Amino acid sequence: MRNAFVAIGLGLALAYGCTSSTEQKKLPILGPREPQVTTGDGKPQVDTLYHSIPDFAFLDQDSQMVTQQTVAGKIYVADFFFTSCPSICPKMKSQMLRVYEKYKDNPKVALLSHSIDPTHDTVAVLRDYAQRLGVKSSTWHFLTGNRDTILDMAQKHYFTSAMVDNTVPGGFEHSGAFLLVDGQRRIRGHYDGTNAEDVDKLLRDMDVLLAEKEK
């Protein structure tokens, strides 16, 4: 399965890499797509149906239900982690803090960090975790819910690895991906959340996407 996620990640990277510096005023739309045939003026017309994140409902660190309505009209960055992670999560959160600090007062931006260990990561645990990070804005939601639903969301809809693996420290294996999602819940960017230079790119792309949204 790891190879499958590597292949998907490479495909996303290639899709992004095909955009030249002169064309980056508009970010690519990542993920699978399929043609949709409609009829207009008595003639068949083919439109492209892009992959989008389905409806969801998870609790955040303030016991508030976070759904697709919470991010309606916003761009957001999603990732998958767990609070007791002994490996890459601390690096991910230090980088996501950079995103938070830049956009914490922007009502058009949200951050969604999904715990893949919801049995341990209760609302109370996530609230303490957020407080230790110094997160006081409603911009950044630390989410908990049904484990299988969250893992399924990561793998099938955000195209990032997240799974139970009792052979690794912490009992879970997951990528450090940050996923940039637009107001139509389409994935517009895929970044290594443990790499400062890649997160620099994310920050630039968020500004591009916000400008695109304004247009």
**pLDDT score of 23:** 43
Encoded amino acid at 54, one letter? P
**pLDDT score of 167:** 83
User: Based on C-alpha coordinates, what's the Rg of the chain?
Assistant: 17
pTM of the model: 0.84
The more confidently predicted of residues 1 and 163 is: 163
Task: Indicate the average pLDDT of the chain.
Answer: 87
**How do residues 170-211 score in pLDDT, each as one tens digit?**
788 899 999 999 999 999 999 999 999 999 999 999 999 999
**How do residues 119-162 score in pLDDT, each as one tens digit?**
999 999 999 999 999 998 899 999 999 999 999 999 999 999 99
Other CB atoms within a 10 A radius of the CB of residue 107 amount to 10
Give the mean pLDDT of 12-30.
58
Given a contact cutoff of 8 angstroms between Cβ atoms, the answer to whether 59 and 145 are in contact is yes
**What torsion, rounded to 10 degrees, do the Cα atoms 70, 182, 56, 170 define?**
-110
**pLDDT score of 117:** 96
Encoded amino acid at 194, one letter? T
**How do residues 30-72 score in pLDDT, each as one tens digit?**
999 876 666 666 666 666 889 999 999 999 999 999 999 999 9
14: confidence class by pLDDT, cuts 50, 70, 90: very low
What is the per-residue burial (b if ≥16 Cβ within 10 Å, else e) of 55-85? ebebbbbeeeebeeebbeebbbbbbbbbbbb
Beta bridge partners of 29: none
Q: Is 20 a residue whose pLDDT tops 70?
A: no
